Structure 1
């Protein structure tokens, strides 16, 4: 039997991958892109079960999993994320421009927690991000690093899938390829006629960071 983690600590290896929905509803993702400088991640469940009462008691409980909401704190939001997801545009002088008419992109968020035996790798499939707050402060006796925080919403896909994470007995192939393509079971991909990698995402012949 594989050894099991007893504890987890330290978020690291954060990546994002752009989400694409085909005309037939098929789900695919771009190659994961690294987001260095992760400081913290805090996501709370969104949606609570509700009860239907009959005959004087809770006759039926309705599941209401609406995903997660929370914050991802980074040393700095990478320029690639600002252009790919927040849709800030680089002009001819390589200046980032924010336009109120631009629509942000949805994406998968990949990350891992260290464990005492093995890193636990996660993916949230259908994320959206709000613009980070602009803030800083003057230096005093010591320089205090100012971080940037993204407010995230992770909603279910049409298939109902919200997230996935590696387990104690996840195959080595899936584990090692976690950041090369977004792991997605066939039931969540939808559509037909798409070539897929072991993870279930469209294979465009490229690889991300390991």
Structure 2
């Protein structure tokens, strides 16, 4: 029987605390309620190698990885953390001194055969968010928060140049605990480690 993927929920993001030759560390993932849509566009450039009067081989070169997500709202507390805004007496200030942090971004989608397919995008730098609003014309017409980030491969040897992880519920995989940490290594899901992944990137 065939399988289709539909639906979307469980947006999460986590700070990438360290990604260098010495270590790879992520913060604890935080839930972003109100997932609406997501689009991930990994761009690649193909180089054709010609021999024997024809295309002999083709090489893919990784380019930009653009993520665009829409959600009901990106809470102000999380905006302050991601974009480095300063808070004074409950007022959030954006300035030219702000420093945006690198993040990982995760979510899941339903499978028509049961269970979910899970995703983490591992290292992205968010763009500043646009602000859109309009007057109420007799009924509420909420504006979606639009989040954009450019993703890239991890640099740490622990990250092995990876930029995405994905898995799906099956007889051999249990997605419980997927959002407890950023998944950049599959060892935590080994059958002898129990059904829940722990201690990645701590």
- Alpha-carbon RMSD: 2.3
User: Matches of 1:125 and 1:47 in 2, distance apart?
Assistant: 18
Q: 1:56 and 1:77 mapped to 2: Cα distance? A: 55
For residue 80 of structure 2, give the secondary structure of its aligned residue in structure 1. Answer: helix
Aligned to 2:127: 130
- Runs (4+) of structure 1 exceeding 6 A deviation are none
Q: Which moved more, 1:51-60 or 1:36-45?
A: 51-60
Structure 2: gaps of 5 or more residues: 188-195
Q: Taking structure 1 as reference, are residues 127 and 144 closer, same or farther at Cα in structure 2, changes over 3 Å only? A: same
Residue 72 of structure 1 is aligned with which of 62, 69, 73?
Answer: 69
Q: Contact 2:178–2:197 at 8 Å: present in 1 too?
A: no
| 2:184 is the alignment partner of 1:184 | yes
**Larger strand share, 1 or 2:** 2
1:101 alignment partner, one of 87, 97, 104? 97
Aligned to 1:13: 10
Instruction: Report how many residues are paired.
Output: 188
Instruction: Give ranges in structure 1 of 5+ residues lacking alignment.
Output: 188-196, 204-210
Q: 1:62 maps to which residue?
A: 59
Q: TM-score, normalising length from structure 1?
A: 0.80
TM-score normalized by the length of structure 2 = 0.82
CA distance in 2, matches of 1:160, 1:22: 11
What is the match of residue 46 of structure 2? 49
Residue in structure 2 matching 1:82, options 56, 79, 84: 79
Matched with 2:201 is 202
Deviations 1:49-107 (A, max 9, x none): 2223344322332221335213111111122321221111211x111111122221111
Instruction: Say if 1:183 and 1:199, in contact at 8 Å, map to a contact too.
Output: no
